Amino acid sequence: MWSNSIGKAFVVTCFGESHGPVVGVTIDGCPAGLPLSTDDIQRYLDLRIPQEKEVVSARREPDIVEIFSGIFQNHTTGAPITLHIRNKDVKSADYEPMKDIVRPGHADYPAKVKFGGFSDYRGGGRLSGRMTAAFVAAGAIAQKLLSTFGVDVLAYTSSIASVAMHRVPELDIVRKMTLENSMRCPDPVIAEKMRQVVLRAKSEGDSVGGVVECITQNLPVGVGEPIFDSIDSELAKILFGIPAVKGVEFGAGFQSTRLRGSENNDQYVINDGKIMTLTNNSGGVLGGMSTGMPLLVRVAFKPPSSIAKEQKTVNVSEMEETELGVKGRHDPCVVPKAVPVVQGMVAISLADLMIRGGMIPRILKS
């Protein structure tokens, strides 16, 4: 009914509810010997939510991570690592009136049909975006592990509504600039336009979506287990696990359907004794395996469903049409918050595939 675990070698199991005592995650299969402290995780949690109050929901969680297992003498032991993040700023009462009125765009209606009367509906329960705090925490460990092998995962906001970056930015720019603004966009000029779009939507009781782009550098060739656990299959699967995602594409993606083969094929050359391609329309993946070129994935986020504007809907217990404007605390745009989530999710999947492919050993050198 629920499916709470992902991965085969680096297995992430999440648990908890939006308004329960904790959101948590167990990472099973992290190699032994990785230096790891709460700080390594905390700094990602601290960055998850932009500080600018105007552009995000009013729910404010300190998001302090606690580690309960799997660490000994400041290193991972290879045993499962369980993490908790306590929920503090909970206003369950906000959700009482909506118990029977299904919110358009949210999962309320199918969840009600599927899970029946026992579900924790407070704040979306287990379907809440709050779960992504656990993904970010697990992703922090995956990123620490990947970085040990020189692999660097970087996400950023590529577009919000119609305001878009028109080319893939330099990675150094991404690294330096993404966290400099509340939009998580490496181009400050575009970021400011995005911000205006978000504020306008908010002021009109509405919301906007956008695209998060994620680039992974220095991935070895051959990551991905074809046929079914190909790198694109695995990334797509985990990315659609993030609330509000409606599309995933690699490299030229949907655009490649309008190119000729001769344009779209990435031609091989030798550069400094290394095989490379002149273009990267494949997004660094061929036949479900990494090519050694930067891995480029683009993730479409729809505009948040909770809006103040009144919309038609239905009271399902009385089977009556009604209208609803969603009160309470919600985001006018989830894209900036989604940036570290995408980054973490990609890292989790790559860590899993690299271990499976033998590129990361189960015991690191001490």
CB of 272 to a second copy, least distance (A): 12
232-254: b (≥16 Cβ within 10 Å) or e: bbbbbebbebbbbbeebbbbbee
Give the CA-trace dihedral at 146, 150, 156, 158, to 10 degrees: -120
Task: Provide the minimum distance between the beta carbon of 37 and a second copy in the complex, in angstroms, as a whole number.
Answer: 15
Residue of 6, 190, 214, 295 interacting with a second copy (CB under 8 A):
6
Coil, helix or strand at residue 158 = strand
Q: Which stretch binds a second copy (CB under 8 A): 48-56, 80-88, 177-185, 336-344?
A: 80-88
Query: In the complex, what is the shortest distance from the CB of residue 179 to a second copy, in angstroms, rounded to a whole number?
Result: 22
Is residue 168 close enough to count as binding a second copy by CB under 8 A? no
Burial of 282 per CB tally in 10 Å (0-12, 13-18, 19+):
buried
Q: How far is the CB of 176 from a second copy (least distance, A)?
A: 25
Binders in 232-251 for a second copy, by CB under 8 A: 232-234, 236-241, 243, 245-251
Smaller CB separation from a second copy, 101 or 140: 101
Question: Residue 292: what residue type?
Answer: G
Enumerate residues 6+ apart whose C-beta is below 8 A from 151: 216, 217, 218, 219, 350, 354
**Piece in contact with a second copy (CB under 8 A), picked from 41-49, 145-153, 188-196, 270-278:** 270-278
- Residues in 191-230 that interact with a second copy by CB under 8 A: 201, 206-211, 221-222, 224-230
Q: How far apart are CA 24 and CA 165, in angstroms?
A: 35
Site for a second copy in 24-53 (CB under 8 A): 24, 26, 28-29, 32-33
Residue 191 has which token pair? 């970021």
Number of Cβ within 10 Å of residue 76's Cβ equals 22
Window contacting a second copy (CB under 8 A); options: 19-27, 37-45, 46-54, 182-190: 19-27
Binding residue for a second copy (CB under 8 A) from 15, 151, 215, 344?
A: 15
Cα diameter, the chain? 70
Tell me how far, at minimum, the Cβ of 172 lies from a second copy, in Å.
26
Which range in 136-144, 168-176, 180-188, 273-281 contacts a second copy by CB under 8 A?
A: 273-281
Nearer to a second copy, 4 or 170 (CB): 4
Residue 11 has phi, psi (to 5 degrees) of: -100, 125
**Residue 69 interacting with a second copy (CB under 8 A):** yes
Site for a second copy in 346-365 (CB under 8 A): 357-358, 361-363
Say how far apart CA 285 and CA 263 lie, in whole Å: 17
Closest distance to a second copy from the beta carbon of 180 (Å): 23
Binding-site residue total for a second copy (CB under 8 A)?
147
Minimum CB–partner distance for residue 50 and a second copy (Å):
19
Site string for a second copy, 290-329 (x = CB under 8 A): xxx-------xxxxxxxx-x-xxxx-x--xxx--------
Q: State in angstroms the smallest separation of the CB of 342 from a second copy.
A: 14
Counting every residue written for the chain, the total comes to: 366
Q: How many CA atoms lie within 13 A of 304 on its CB side?
A: 26
In the numeric block, which tokens belong to residue 291? 């090519």
- By the rule CB under 8 A, 254 interacts with a second copy: yes
6: preceding bond cis by omega (within 30 degrees): no
Answer for the pair 185, 178: CB distance below 8 angstroms, yes or no: yes
